[in-house]
Amino acid sequence: MKNQLIGCKAIMLMAVLFLLAGCGKRGGAHKILKAEAFQEELATYAQNGQLIDVRTEEEFAQGHLAGAKNINYNSNDFKERISDLDRNAPVFVYCLGGGRSNATAEELAGMGFTQVYDLKGGIMAWKNKNLPIEGGNIEKTADRVTMDDLHNVLRKNKITLVDFYADWCVPCKEMEPTLEKLAKDYKDKVFIYRINVDEATLLSETLKIEGIPLFHVYKGDKLVRELTGFQEEEDLKTVIDAI
């Protein structure tokens, strides 16, 4: 009898914990979709879907997905504006490379939005799949870094670590101290070449860059390793030492 009572209490406790866990959840985990899947979901919810571009006004003016509303992730009223979205309708978010939209999707899920879709790789991935873009009629500034620039750097160095980054990318900024240290520790072996994707749009499209931070490791002009996302210092050292 005693064992039965203990067993019943244990079951009841588990049930209570389960209910509490369920009640504690607000919203749901957002879905990260590749470009084609993102496009399909957009079409599915064409009547009530909310498409949000969280890039800057300048980026938005250079081309965006049709029907997108611009809410700058870095604006002072960002949280207020996204909280005004309809919680009962799907929300689709994107940026340039996926960083700002992922942070936005997490914010929305935390606010109680239950249908949140994030474009993996951002509008860069969308363009790489030759999917339609609207706008972009303003005069664009010339890229500061081109494929010729990259090839010239690769020809001059035995080993090159190329860091694709952007000023708005938080993980990219977090990588800066590590890259500075590697540049000193490996100054006689590796050349670290940083490319701001916002200043190298054609190069980014040619290399089909879909997310940052992104690292390409070249031996001469041959790409030998590709690393995506935040990298620990020791992991990068291991890659370099193996070449």
87-100 pLDDT, tens digit per residue, is 999 999 999 888 89
Per CATH, is 147-242 categorized as 3.40.462.20? no
Q: Are the beta carbons of 58 and 152 closer than 8 angstroms? A: no
Instruction: Answer yes or no: 95 catalytic.
Output: no
pTM above 0.75, yes or no: no
Domain boundaries for CATH 3.40.250.10 within the chain: 30-134
pLDDT digits (tens, 9 = 90+) for 110-154: 999 999 999 999 998 998 888 999 987 545 567 899 999 999 999
Burial, 100: exposed, middle or buried (Cβ in 10 Å; 0-12, 13-18, 19+)?
buried
Cis status, amide bond into 177, omega within 30 of 0: no
Q: Which entry of 8, 23, 95, 172 is annotated as an active-site residue?
A: 172
Q: Are strands 191-196 and 159-165 parallel, antiparallel or unpaired?
A: parallel
Q: Which CATH class is domain 30-134?
A: alpha beta
Q: Catalytic residue among 8, 23, 95, 169, which? A: 169
The answer to whether 169 is a known catalytic residue is yes
